[in-house]
A and B are shown apart, each in its own frame.
Chain A
Amino acid sequence: MMFNKDQISVLKDAVDRENSKTQEKLQKRPERKNVFTTGSGAPVNRYYTPVDIADMDYMNDLGLPGQYPYTRGVQPTMYRGRFWTMRMYAGFATAEESNKRYKFLVEQGSSGLSVAFDLPTQIGYDSDHPLSEGEVGKVGVAIDSLADMEILFDGIPLDKVSTSMTINAPASVLLAMYIAVAEKQGVSADKLRGTIQNDILKEYIARGTYIFPTEPSMRLITDIFEYCSQNVPLWNTISISGYHIREAGSTAAQEIGFTLADGIAYVEAAIKAGLDVDAFAPRLSFFFNAHNDLLEEVSKYRAARRLWARIMKERFGAKDPKSMQLKFHTQTGGSTLTAQQPDNNIVRVAIQTLAAVLGGTQSLHTNSKDEALALPTEDSVRIALRTQQIVAHESGVTEVVDPLAGSYYIEAKTKEIEDEAYAYINKIDEIGGAPKAIDMGYIQQEIMDAAYDYQKKVENNDVIVVGLNKYQVEEEAPKGLLRVDPAVGEMQKDKLKTLRQERDNAKVEAQLKALKSACEGTENVMPLILDAVKAYATLGEVCGVMREVFGEYQQSVSL
């Protein structure tokens, strides 16, 4: 208990008296709105006092930074030790083009790489597949085989950088290619640092780049957990993502509730596969969004840390503190950007950066101002990266750990989000777990309701988006947007043609056959995928074998 009971009761009376006085005054001079809410639409009080956090127990609920339940951060020194990793998500066109962008970002002070793949790569199709038509190199880089991956990381020492790869359904294949490239550079797998997103459940929920049905997908994920715990111990094997759930329109509390429910499903699957919780849980990582409501977002990250720590300790009996520490990457909110007056987006991103940093993020991608219009240009990426550097070096918020702790509002809000997220987790447990709740469409429906509700508020001007439904100006079409060369598709097709002529096709076939029988059985598929990609089997061929054995996921469509 932080406050003594008598003091709280005296204060409560004072607050009640004051509130009824204010209520009278409001007759004459009303406030701006009848109801005040957060960015997620949760009601907020006029002000907060110790009464609102009277039940809080400091050591139990907060602890010191770096102490269970990690509400105040996962490390004791946080940004006094080192800043978060400034990790800019990038990739487009060919491996050659993207390699240039990575070198540019490293030169500009980016401290980790983050690879964006094009949609065919994310869905396991080669660039010459009919469904790849028009999509090659558009939203990310096209990777068809190890040959592309070698070019992508040419001149980038993989023992020095950490690399995050936004890849899910074919995560095992891209990870295998990364391991193979490192080997060619003379870097052994146990030195590799980085993350694969590898979070299939949120693909079913919100992001859409699934391939296989739930069960084989969960098996691929646990195979990766197991393989990495033995061979790539520094690799973060999954990035359990709320980002896309939020982008799809969820509230802040839903973002946490649904993401942690997904996390629970992965932990359960791995335990069921026979893994010890402390063998894989320290390499689980998370990925959250940063929207504009600064204080709500800060509370959200704190709530997520506390809730996950308790789940890991109490529900799964984890012993290793690292298993209980929720480490997360943040990306600023793409859906908060406006196509109108795009320069204003720089300010939004700055606020969101501050939220992520005050919330204790481990790494951060800042969106560029032109991303509601196209992929970002180098100039706009530089501003986005500079935004992080200004917050790091000039704002002062990095000099004190969790500086907003103890604010009556922040602590009350942290508790409120934790409770709401926990209620969602309970509801999903009742349904039978996240995979089942997804198959039923429950999670998608909840998100969709929140998204539609928000859209209506914007259209009724209940929510103001500057430049969109207020303060509009006549604008000319923006100039100088990045365009992906339409010839990229043809270039990739040519590369594939050459590859298929030059490689040892008998070897490829033999490796694919071995992979197929592994998929049909129960052994870990990772070593076989690694052999196949080393023989220059293409991504589409490897995923094709798995499609044959596993089948494909059928989306449950709900409006």
Chain B
Amino acid sequence: MNKTIRVLVAKPGLDGHDRGAKVIARALRDAGMEVIYTGLRQTPEQIVSAAIQEDVDCIAMSILSGAHNTLLPKVVELLKAQNADDILVIGGGVIPTDDIPGLKEKGIKEIFTPGTPTQVTIDFIKANVMER
């Protein structure tokens, strides 16, 4: 694919820990992607609307508050409702291993837990975004 990949890095919920989000945003940018960072406290509705407006290929959400089971699937649902579920949705943060299968079932394509090298995420996005 020759087109530049566009990624929305988002912080869903009330969690204020954005070191991970910002580090990943920079790493994706350094890897040649176009990155839009939402800032803190985004509702699923705001994230989906920003993703569609910015015409992104991927939504990368970082969440450390424990609200992942509520908020991440909500984003996928809203994308489906808007016929935008060709956008790749991934997540990262403090997410217990036991929760990952459930999240994947609901359409979050991959979950990156603490300690994941940024290159792993970069490679995953490159390999999994769809031609749009």
Which residues does A use to contact B, with CB under 8 Å?
A: 119-120, 122-123, 125, 131-135, 138-139, 203, 207-209, 247-249, 335, 338-340, 372-375, 448, 451-452, 455, 458-459, 465, 468, 477-478, 481, 483-484, 486, 555, 557, 559
Q: Is B66 an interface residue (CB 8 A)?
A: yes
On chain B, the residues within 8 Å of A486 by CB distance are: 69
Q: Is the CB of B22 within 8 A of A119?
A: no
Q: Is the CB of B94 within 8 A of A373?
A: yes
Nearest opposing residue in chain A for B120, CB measure = A459
**Docked complex Cα distance between A130 and B35 (Å):** 29
On chain B, the residues within 8 Å of A559 by CB distance are: 22, 25-26, 29, 35, 37
Nearest opposing residue in chain A for B14, CB measure = A119
Q: Is B105 an interface residue (CB 8 A)?
A: no
Q: Is B39 an interface residue (CB 8 A)?
A: yes
A139-B114 contact, Cβ under 8 Å, with A372-B94, A559-B22: no
Q: Which 10 pairs show the lowest CB-CB distances between chains A and B?
A: A208-B16, A134-B70, A134-B67, A477-B97, A138-B66, A119-B14, A557-B39, A339-B114, A135-B67, A248-B19
Q: Is the CB of B16 within 8 A of A451?
A: no
Q: Is the CB of B16 within 8 A of A207?
A: yes
Q: Is B65 an interface residue (CB 8 A)?
A: yes
Q: Is B77 an interface residue (CB 8 A)?
A: no
On chain A, the residues within 8 Å of B71 by CB distance are: 133-134
Q: Is the CB of A477 within 8 A of B98?
A: yes
On chain A, the residues within 8 Å of B25 by CB distance are: 559
Q: Is B15 an interface residue (CB 8 A)?
A: yes
Q: Is B50 an interface residue (CB 8 A)?
A: no
**Docked complex Cα distance between A459 and B117 (Å):** 6
**Docked complex Cα distance between A137 and B33 (Å):** 37
A134-B35 contact, Cβ under 8 Å, with A119-B14, A123-B14: no
Q: Is B18 an interface residue (CB 8 A)?
A: yes
On chain A, the residues within 8 Å of B114 by CB distance are: 338-339, 372-373
Q: Is the CB of B97 within 8 A of A478?
A: yes
- B23, chain A: closest CB distance, angstroms: 5
Apart from A208-B18, A451-B23: 9 A-B pairs, beta carbons within 8 A: A120-B14, A123-B14, A135-B13, A207-B17, A248-B19, A335-B19, A451-B19, A478-B97, A557-B38
B1-33 interface code vs A (CB 8 A; 1 in, 0 out): 000000000000111111100110111010000
On chain A, the residues within 8 Å of B13 by CB distance are: 119, 134-135
Nearest opposing residue in chain A for B64, CB measure = A139
Q: Is B49 an interface residue (CB 8 A)?
A: no
Of B18, B19, B26, B29, most A-chain CB atoms within 10 Å = B19
- B124, chain A: closest CB distance, angstroms: 15
Of A125, A135, A335, most B-chain CB atoms within 10 Å = A135
**Contact among B43, B94, B118 for A459, CB-based, below 8 A:** B118
Q: Is the CB of A455 within 8 A of B23?
A: yes
**Contact among B23, B67, B98 for A138, CB-based, below 8 A:** B67
Of B43, B67, B71, B119, most A-chain CB atoms within 10 Å = B67
